[in-house]
Amino acid sequence: MHYQSLSNIHIVCTPLPPGNATIVNARNTQGPTLPISWYGTLPHLENMPQNTGTVCLELDSDDLCVKHRLRMKLRSARNSFPAMKAVVISKPNQDSHYDLLIDEGISVILTQSTNSTLSASLRRPTPAGWPCRNVQWGLWEVTRANPKQRLFAQGFFTSFLHKRPHGATLRVLDTGSKNGTYDHKKFMKATRRLQNLISKKMTTVIGLDQLPTFISKSSSRERPASILKAA
């Protein structure tokens, strides 16, 4: 019975818009049932209202070079958003200071692509087909995508027609523009389509910081039918 709520999951990530009015309008339009994971640099975060929702700190390569700088930036972001659990690192590497991120309460890294050199550091199995992996205990790395227009019209609905009855799927959508800025038209188009799918109970949308919890749920309910049958 629980597979329906866990089998099709979306995470919507988008850059923080340039003004508070824009984010308030976007949040009001997409409604309370559709959590959005907003990301931006520290100066951008500090100008956002605390009720923005799920917020992720965007880090650059310079931030990852010096531990003290990284720690201070994380703590400064926490002053504005105490519940922040996710960061954006376009290209993680061996110097990404994962231990420090975990110590500072970070549990999810949003990235453009996974780093193959870190494959040996996997700690927990990832659900088949999910664009994420556990790089260290307590820290997950998830890959974002900028899908083409046909994602919903063809590829996405096709996945529903051919989905496995017990197979979990996860799609991480980045609605930002090609140059990494907020794209209101793209954001509204994607969220409206997801709202429609939610109304039909065809998908569940979660915040980026909820990913570890949902992976645990998926793993713990992987074979409930077999357990009941054995009992």
How buried is 39 (Cβ within 10 angstroms: 0-12 exposed, 13-18 middle, 19+ buried)?
buried
Q: Taking the model in full, what pTM does it have? A: 0.80
Q: What is the mean pLDDT of the chain?
A: 77
The band of 21, judged by pLDDT with boundaries at 50, 70 and 90, is low
Domain that holds residue 63: 3-230
Residue 74, SS3? helix
With bands split at pLDDT 50, 70 and 90, how would you rate the model's confidence at 32? low
Structural domain total, the chain: 1
Least confident of 23-27, 98-102, 120-124, 155-159: 155-159
**Residue 181, Cα to own-chain centre: how many angstroms?**
17
Task: Give pLDDT, residue 102.
Answer: 94
Of 99 and 218, which is predicted with more confidence? Answer: 99
User: For residues 56-69, b (16+ Cβ closer than 10 Å) or e, as one string?
Assistant: bbbbeeebbeeeee
CATH code assigned at 155: 3.20.20.370
∠ CA 130-131-134, nearest 5°, is: 90
Task: Out of 17-31, 59-73, 90-104, 214-228, give the one with best mean pLDDT.
Answer: 59-73
37: Cβ–Cβ under 8 A, 6 or more apart, which residues?
A: 11, 12, 13, 14, 53, 54, 55, 56, 86, 110, 207, 208, 209
Q: Is 70 exceeded by the pLDDT of residue 156?
A: no
What value does the mean pLDDT take over residues 197-225? 78
DSSP 95: T
